């Protein structure tokens, strides 16, 4: 039986482990964090992905934990509603489609549990060195003893350790896309009822959606910026950076900033894309963000409101309400539409809005490490 080491226990790594198990391989997943990472916004299962989820027996469970959004509101910089839709949202697209939107952490948990009996998970450890020849790949870890595998897969995200060890430094392949995104949770201080709100103010903006039966908010805040000079694993620096950018907003700044400082699942990173001429070398291959993902800015990736100037609706003359707008802080923001706001509709069934940005695991091992590293990085 061929052995496969997968670095990274996020969606890509966990999905691959689940599929390899069904094909008779012996996968091992090594994840830097001490357990499955919580946090992130929502992701969609659609198209051929629905067939894959059905093939591994997780389709019905995915439907059970899907989000139940009723619509969304577009807000101006002061928090007044300028448009709304009950037909589509930025995070999931059309509400009448067969797509399944669910939290990232729910999907990872499902994949983990679906493969738990036959896949070895090693939490709290990471690859430090990798040597390969025609017979095997020998891997050294920060804590565990060295081991040999037939194949090694780098599913460890934008800042991939596997890519650095095998292909070269990150700066040779990373292309900054002009913005950053932060995702974090908070209590539902807006009182949203299965209703999203999206706001853009200058070169920053956010999308907020309620989750877990409306008890919690997932906040995705994006801002334009050239590459920042800081450590992507320094959570305190990242929180301060986000707080400084939030200070420029005019609506709900205080509560959003407080949530960014206090959220246990806070995540922030640059929007970037890895571009490479090849994704494999010897017995090593890259998967997902580590090698080629189109980035969260694409309509095929997770939903992140990280580039307001690129795809967020601007309050144009067509979009603005002809009568006084209303504030989403009131119950009307989640209620029926009225003549005071215009309704937004996708132009065609295929014209989906770009996707806007997903419990705890059984913990079978091992070492402890800093849990603040970016999601999906092994």
Residue entry with tokens 């292909």? 167
Does 323 fall in a domain? no
Domain coverage including residue 28: 3-311
What integer pLDDT is reported at residue 35 of this predicted model?
A: 94
Q: Quote the number of domains for the chain.
A: 1
Residue 153 in any domain: the answer is yes
- How do residues 223-232 score in pLDDT, each as one tens digit? 999 999 989 8
Angle at 39 between CA 37 and CA 41, to 5 degrees: 135
Tell me the pLDDT tens digit for each residue of 79-102.
Answer: 999 999 999 999 888 999 999 999
Where helices occur in the chain by DSSP H, the ranges are 11-22, 48-55, 59-64, 104-115, 161-166, 235-246, 253-262, 308-311
For residue 297, the model assigns a pLDDT of 63
**235 domain-assigned:** yes
Please answer whether residues 206 and 219 qualify as being in contact, where contact means their C-beta atoms are separated by less than 8 angstroms.
Answer: yes
Query: Would 358 be classed as within a structural domain?
Result: no
Residue 375 lies in a domain: no
Domain for residue 158, yes or no?
A: yes
pTM over 0.95: no
The enclosing domain of 205 has a CATH number of: 3.50.50.60
Q: Examine residue 341 and state whether it is found in any structural domain, yes or no.
A: no
In a domain, 135, yes or no: yes
User: Do residues 50 and 365 touch, judged by C-beta distance below 8 A?
Assistant: no
**Rounded mean pLDDT, 60-70:** 95
Q: How far apart are CA 200 and CA 298, in angstroms?
A: 19
3-state class of 94 per DSSP?
strand
Worst-scoring range by mean pLDDT, 64-78, 113-127, 349-363? 349-363
Distance of alpha carbon 104 from alpha carbon 37, whole angstroms: 9
Average pLDDT, rounded, for the chain: 82
pLDDT band at 298 (very low <50, low <70, confident <90, very high): low
């Amino acid at each position: 039986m061929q052995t496969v080491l997968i670095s990274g226990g996020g969606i890509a790594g966990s999905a691959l482990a689940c599929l390899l198990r069904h094909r008779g391989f012996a996968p091992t997943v090594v994840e830097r964090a001490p357990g499955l990472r919580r946090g992130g916004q929502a992701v969609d299962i659609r198209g051929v992905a629905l067939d894959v989820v059905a093939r591994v027996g997780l389709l019905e469970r995915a439907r059970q934990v899907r989000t139940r959004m009723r619509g969304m509101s577009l807000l101006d910089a002061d928090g007044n509603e300028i448009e709304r839709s009950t037909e589509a949202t930025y995070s999931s697209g059309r509400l009448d489609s067969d797509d399944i939107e669910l939290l990232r952490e729910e999907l990872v948990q499902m994949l983990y549990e679906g493969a738990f009996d036959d896949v070895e998970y090693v939490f709290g450890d990471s690859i430090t060195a990798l040597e390969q020849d025609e017979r095997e790949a020998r891997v050294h870890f920060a804590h565990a003893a060295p081991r040999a595998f037939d194949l090694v897969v780098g599913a460890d995200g934008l800042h991939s350790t596997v890519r650095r060890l095998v292909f070269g430094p990150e700066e040779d392949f990373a292309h900054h896309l002009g913005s950053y995104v932060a995702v974090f949770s908070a209590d539902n201080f807006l009182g949203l009822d299965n209703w999203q709100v999206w706001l853009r103010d200058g070169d920053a903006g956010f999308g907020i959606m309620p989750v877990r039966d409306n008890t919690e908010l997932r906040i995705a805040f994006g801002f334009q910026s050239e590459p920042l000079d800081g450590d992507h694993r320094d959570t305190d620096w990242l929180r301060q950076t986000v707080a400084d950018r939030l200070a420029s907003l005019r609506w709900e700044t205080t509560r959003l900033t407080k949530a960014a400082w206090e959220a246990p699942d806070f995540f922030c990173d640059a929007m970037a894309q890895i571009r490479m001429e090849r994704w494999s070398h010897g017995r090593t291959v890259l998967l997902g963000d580590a090698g080629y993902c189109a980035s969260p800015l694409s309509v095929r990736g997770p939903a992140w409101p990280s580039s307001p100037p690129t795809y967020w609706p601007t309050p144009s003359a067509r979009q603005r309400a002809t009568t006084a707008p209303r504030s989403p802080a009131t119950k009307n923001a989640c209620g029926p539409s009225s003549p005071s706001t215009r309704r937004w509709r996708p132009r065609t069934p295929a014209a989906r809005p770009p996707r806007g940005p997903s419990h705890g695991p059984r913990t079978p091992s091992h070492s402890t490490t800093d849990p603040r590293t970016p999601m999906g990085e092994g």
